[in-house]
């Protein structure tokens, strides 16, 4: 979706900005705020909670707990959603908090316009076109947001909207080939390199685990390799994404109810593509590669089977006991390819396990890896970006569970407990010693697809991983 909303910051004196409506945040139920018409609100018995619109003054009051990034991002989104389908072309809003707060507020407002109506006959055109951020002299301690901060929010929101659009697309359209074409398009617009490996090249690369997952699909697999190489970059980050454009489970077929939403099994791959788009637009001074393993996991006479043994690119043999644990097979080969690029940091994003959703709930992504400092760093930055994350620790007892009697490793663990971690441990077995401390695995299975609106997310794809990934890369670019 192209963002049609324009947000402008204006320094004006008392009530000089003519807008059709105003938004006022009521902080911690405090109706004594400068902007608040206390008497009027009391008359309506509004106590500073939730959303309340006063027709006479065309003012929308939104209660927030406190002035911080998380509250403002969510409230900004709520304000836009409120006006989106009404007949207001614009509204004005004051300045709340420091730069970080204002960035979150602006990002939330951009995300509020998102809607996915590609398959609706009646597309509702939003009327809301413009938001004025004004500092009408009420609050001297806050300053208007700078231009670059506003552009940054717009770039991140645009990447998220694009990722949501593609993840929301039906599997009949959003095929591996489509992801490859989309990547090429982004590469052209943002001057990235884009290298696409088809079936022939994947065979040459000995990516037999990846190829086995694809076997029963009528759609060819593609490995997408996007690279952003600015001059004088000192650090190299390689991102890897699971791009399953559909996961029916294969011969270990999913029950019907679990199959619905599996078009979103490409979320990790799409997030990686979106992050590359944003990193290039932001012109971050760091080398970033995005590698996406794009395929379907289907069923048919040619399907790979439980009992098969696959010979991966990294040289390890894999016993297949469940064809629905396909993401780790695709990622094993993609991570192998990624390590040849000699990254300083290697991060994969994947909707890898239902167990991660059971363990952490549907709002939180799992962070795994061998390097505690790196996990801590990613956790802090992801939370700062507005994404919920938590660490899931490996241990030597769980490590034993992926042993196989007939091959080097088994694609499912011997116990159903700790399934998110044992999947992470499986991936870890394909990470060479020299990259163990540089690698992170992010399981986004929970938040990637939203069944009920929450925070800045509306029904459908959320673009999980995009904000966290950009924040992480930006921090590495700044501090190494
Ligand atoms: N794509 C699924 C994981 C998933 C589940 C993502 C729910 C989003 C929501 C993955 O390929 C899968 O099916 N994993 C299996 C692994 C099991 C067979 C060891 C799972 O989680 O059940
Ligand atoms: Zn699966
Ligand atoms: Zn899957």
CB of 462 closer than 8 Å to CB of 448: yes
Instruction: Point out the ligand 1 atom lying closest to the alpha carbon of residue 419.
Output: 19
433 is in an annotated binding site: no
The pTM (predicted TM-score) of the whole model is: 0.97
Helix 147-168 and helix 99-112, axial crossing angle in degrees, nearest 10: 40
Beta bridge partners of 52: 61
Distance CA 432, CA 434 (A): 6
Instruction: Point out the ligand 1 atom lying closest to the alpha carbon of residue 413.
Output: 19
Q: Which of 373, 348, 340, 312 is nearest to 423 (CA)?
A: 348
Instruction: Point out the ligand 1 atom lying closest to the alpha carbon of residue 351.
Output: 6
* 452 in catalytic set: no
Distance CA 190, CA 126 (A): 28
What's the 354 CA to ligand 2 centre distance in angstroms? 9
What's the 253 CA to ligand 1 centre distance in angstroms? 11
Ligand nearest to the CA of 419: 1
What's the 391 CA to ligand 1 centre distance in angstroms? 19
217 phi, psi to nearest 5 deg: -90, 145
Name residue, tokens 């009420």: 138
From first to last of the 480 residues of the chain, give the pLDDT tens digit.
566 799 999 887 767 788 999 999 999 988 887 677 788 888 888 988 999 999 999 999 999 999 999 999 999 999 999 999 888 999 999 999 999 999 999 999 999 999 999 999 998 888 999 999 998 766 667 889 999 999 999 999 999 999 999 999 999 999 999 999 999 999 999 999 999 999 999 999 999 999 999 999 999 999 999 999 999 999 999 999 999 999 999 999 999 999 999 999 999 999 999 999 999 999 999 999 999 999 999 999 999 999 999 999 999 999 999 999 999 999 999 999 999 999 999 999 999 999 999 999 999 999 999 999 999 999 999 999 999 999 999 999 999 999 999 999 999 999 999 999 999 999 999 999 999 999 999 999 999 999 999 999 999 999 999 999 999 999 999 998
CATH 3.40.220.10 domain locations along the chain: 6-145
Q: Which of 133, 171, 343, 126 is nearest to 267 (CA)?
A: 171
DSSP E strands, 325-370: 345-350, 364-369
**What's the distance, Cα to Cα, between the start and end of the chain in Å?**
34
Ligand nearest to the CA of 293: 3
The residues placing their C-beta within 5 Å of ligand 2, an ion, are: 247, 324, 326
326 is in an annotated binding site: yes
CATH 3.40.630.10 domain locations along the chain: 154-479
The CATH code belonging to domain 6-145 is 3.40.220.10
49 is in an annotated binding site: no
162 is in an annotated binding site: no
43 is in an annotated binding site: no
The CATH code belonging to domain 154-479 is 3.40.630.10
Non-local CB neighbours of 371 within 8 Å, separated by 6+ positions = 436, 437, 438, 439, 440
Q: In whole angstroms, how far apart are CA 75 and each of 106, 154, 253, 275, 441?
A: 10, 17, 42, 25, 31
What's the 352 CA to ligand 1 centre distance in angstroms? 6
What's the 328 CA to ligand 1 centre distance in angstroms? 10
* 300: three-class secondary structure by DSSP: coil
Pocket of ligand 1 (CB under 6 A): 247, 265, 322, 324-327, 351-355, 357, 412, 419, 445
* 321 in catalytic set: no
Residue in 84, 184, 254, 316 annotated catalytic: 254
């Amino acid at each position: 979706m192209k963002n049609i909303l324009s947000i402008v910051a204006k320094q004006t004196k008392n009530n000089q900005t003519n807008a059709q409506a105003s938004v006022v945040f009521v902080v911690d139920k405090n109706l004594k705020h400068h902007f608040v018409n206390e008497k009027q609100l009391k008359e309506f018995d509004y106590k500073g909670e939730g959303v309340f619109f006063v027709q006479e003054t065309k003012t929308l009051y939104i209660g927030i707990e406190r002035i911080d990034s998380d509250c403002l991002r969510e409230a900004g989104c709520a304000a836009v959603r409120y006006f989106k389908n009404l007949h207001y072309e614009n509204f004005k809003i004051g300045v709340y908090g420091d730069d970080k707060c204002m960035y979150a507020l602006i990002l939330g407002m951009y995300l509020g316009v998102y809607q996915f109506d590609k398959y609706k006959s009646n597309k509702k055109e939003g009327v809301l076109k413009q938001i004025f951020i004004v500092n009408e002299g009420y609050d001297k301690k806050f300053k208007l947001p700078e231009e670059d901060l506003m552009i940054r929010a717009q770039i991140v929101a645009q990447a998220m909207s694009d990722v949501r659009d593609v993840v929301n697309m039906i599997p009949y359209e959003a095929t591996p080939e489509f992801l490859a074409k989309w990547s090429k398009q982004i590469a052209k617009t943002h001057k990235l390199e884009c290298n696409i490996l088809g079936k022939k090249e994947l065979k040459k690369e000995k990516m037999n685990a990846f190829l086995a997952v694809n076997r029963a699909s009528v759609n060819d697999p593609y490995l997408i390799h996007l690279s952003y190489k600015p001059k004088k970059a000192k650090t190299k980050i390689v991102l890897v994404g699971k791009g399953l454009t559909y996961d029916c489970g294969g011969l270990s077929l999913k029950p019907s109810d679990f199959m619905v939403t599996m078009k979103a099994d490409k979320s990790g791959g799409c997030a990686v593509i979106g992050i590359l788009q944003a990193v290039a637009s932001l012109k971050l001074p760091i080398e970033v590669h995005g590698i996406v393993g794009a395929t379907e996991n289907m069923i048919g006479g040619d399907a790979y089977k439980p009992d098969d043994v696959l010979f991966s690119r990294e040289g390890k043999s894999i016993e297949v006991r469940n064809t629905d644990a396909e993401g780790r097979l695709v990622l094993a080969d993609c991570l192998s390819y990624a390590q040849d690029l000699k990254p300083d940091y290697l991060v994969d994003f994947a909707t890898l396990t239902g167990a991660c959703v059971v363990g952490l709930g549907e709002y939180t992504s799992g962070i795994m890896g061998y390097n505690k400092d790196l996990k801590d760093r990613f956790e802090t930055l992801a939370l700062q970006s507005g994404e919920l994350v938590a660490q899931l620790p490996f241990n030597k007892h769980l490590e034993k569970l992926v042993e196989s009697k007939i091959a080097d490793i088994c694609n499912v663990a011997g116990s159903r407990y700790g399934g998110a971690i044992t999947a992470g441990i499986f991936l870890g077995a394909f990470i060479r010693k020299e990259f163990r401390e540089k690698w992170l695995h992010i399981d986004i299975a929970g938040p990637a697809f939203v069944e009920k609106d929450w925070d800045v997310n509306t029904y459908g794809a959320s673009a999980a991983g995009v904000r966290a990934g950009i924040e992480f890369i930006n921090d590495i670019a700044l501090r190494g």
